[in-house]
Amino acid sequence: MLGGSVLWFRHGLRLHDNPSLHSALEETSGPFFPIFIFDGETAGTKVVGYNRMRYLLEALDDLDKQFKKYGGRLLLVKGKPSAVFRRLWEEFGIRKLCFEQDCEPVWRPRDESVKTACREIGVTCREHVSHTLWEPDTVIKANGGIPPLTYQMFLHTVATIGDPPRPVDNAKLRGIKFGTLPLCFYEEFTVYDKVPNPEDLGVFLENEDIRMIRWVGGETAALKQMQHRLAVEYETFCRGSYLPTHGSPDLLGPPISLSPALRFGCLSVRKFYWSLQDLFQQVHQGSLCSTQYITGQLIWREYFYTMSVNNPHYGQMTDNPICLDIPWKSPEGDELERWASGRTGFPFVDAAMRQLRLEGWLHHAVRNTVASFLTRGTLWLSWEHGLAHFLKYLLDADWSVCAGNWMWVSSSAFEALLDSGECACPVRLGQRLDPSGEYVRRYVPELARVPTEYIYEPWKAPLDVQERANCIIGKDYPAPVVNHIVAAQRNRNAMEDTKMEKNHAKQRGRPLASSNSGRRWNSPLDYQQTGREKIY
């Protein structure tokens, strides 16, 4: 019985600002086992598309390369976590298991199973908070034992708690004795001697890999991306502002968002938060007080986590106490599949849905468009369909933040009034955000030769124009799945009926955000450099 400790990676795929790593290295009586376990659920792998799986595996490969610099490696095992840790105890007598907190209730059964197994064998469990700025349970306790009912109440509550902790120093790995797995592990579990490919895990490309934007997973890339982002923020602060814009997004340029790195924990949210705050103070030398707006979308991320932590039904309508019971219709014909595959006949929507499948990414303004189109804007289908699709394909989608945004954009929760009159038109918004139509031409190549005046309404092009463009509507590109104008008016009426029937939240007592917060897709700090105004 050698003793030793285990660092269990789930999210938090980094070495910087990793209190669990520090805790694991305190145990010096035996070897150190850094491990990631493919259990079919961890890090969102239960239902996962190719891009998300590739990003995860790149992050694991980056960790493995960093450990190899110190004579170790990241252990990669496929199995049930509690069974793996029990066998490590039987073989090595491990004394300590450390991991970063996954606060969402979807992970609770997994973690309780592991904690129970550790209690039975006498292994100490140490869970550390570093995936969120504040521990959600601490926020709830400070608010009198209930989640803050509004975003403003959340801001007040965290203000009483105080600033989030600063990141911990980098752990020293030189001289650490890394553990290796015995032969019996190879016989009882699937053990990978190198990071597998997505195909090795049963995840395959659905279409040809023709991505225009290439996301690279891992801590090394994330830290470089953060430095680039801080340079953008520095210029913004020097101009006397603190919010890079949503107003004139560059849909074709390389995005500057760090949300995928934050979602997988390749970048510490605390490191990014404090880097922004310190940069602001450096630029203004204390002459201006920082506000929550500097890191506002990180705070929204915290709010959604806190709202979900004690609500296992947060990602669904049934039994979800914060979700308005809007009578969405069931999908008719192939309309849901046409939305998911980018064949609705509305070029801006279709370009976005194809980009999502190809690259795993969408700009926040485009996310709003496709989410509104699916739900209250056009198709009147439940946001649950959209959540399932995004959780599979969107790189930065996690359960709490993604479900929260789908409820918000669909007017199901997190707003003070049912905003039934506001509806993103897929034609006008495309014309505004990409007047040249280049975004559509990139992702919907069958429309590449359609004149700009018809690019967002190709069904209005005369037949001879369609023939010259080699794109006959109904043959080469589908006709609109519905009449958007008629559907939008019908949906506005239905939302008004719902508002009257439910008398909004006064009769339900559901938590809502303040009405003047503005509707946004809360992909943490997902915005571009140019312009100033908001989309809505």
Annotated binding site: 242, 297-304, 396-398
Smallest CA-to-CA distance from 292 within 246, 242, 244, 258 is with 242
Smallest CA-to-CA distance from 60 within 37, 40, 80 is with 37
Please give the order of strands across the beta sheet that includes 32-38: 124-128, 96-100, 5-9, 32-38, 75-78, 190-192
Using alpha carbons, list the distances in angstroms from residue 437 to 221, 348, 446, 453: 31, 9, 13, 9
Q: What angle do CA 109, 115, 121 make, to 5 degrees?
A: 140
Torsion angle defined by CA atoms of residues 432, 435, 441 and 447, in that order, rounded to the nearest 10 degrees: 90
Q: Find out whether 308 and 314 touch, Cβ atoms under 8 Å.
A: yes
Smallest CA-to-CA distance from 5 within 36, 32, 34 is with 32
Strands (E), 238-298: none
Provide CB contacts within 8 A for 18, sequence distance 6+.
12, 100, 130, 168, 171, 268
Please spell the DSSP secondary structure of 64-76, one letter per residue: HHHHHTTT---EE
Side-chain half-sphere of 360: how many Cα atoms within 13 Å?
25
Using alpha carbons, list the distances in angstroms from residue 289 to 164, 268, 281, 536: 17, 24, 8, 27
DSSP 12: -
Cα(410)–Cα(419) distance, rounded to whole angstroms? 9
Please spell the DSSP secondary structure of 142-204, one letter per residue: HTTSS--SSHHHHHHHHHHH-SPPPPPPPPP-TT--B----HHHHHHSEEESSPPPGGGGT--
CB atoms within 10 A of CB 155: 16
- List binding-site positions for FAD: 242, 297-304, 396-398
**Residue carrying the six token digits 């850094």:** 34
Cα(77)–Cα(39) distance, rounded to whole angstroms? 9
Calculate the CA 460 to chain-centre distance.
37
- Give me the sign of the Cα torsion angle 316, 318, 320, 321: positive
Cα(171)–Cα(169) distance, rounded to whole angstroms? 6
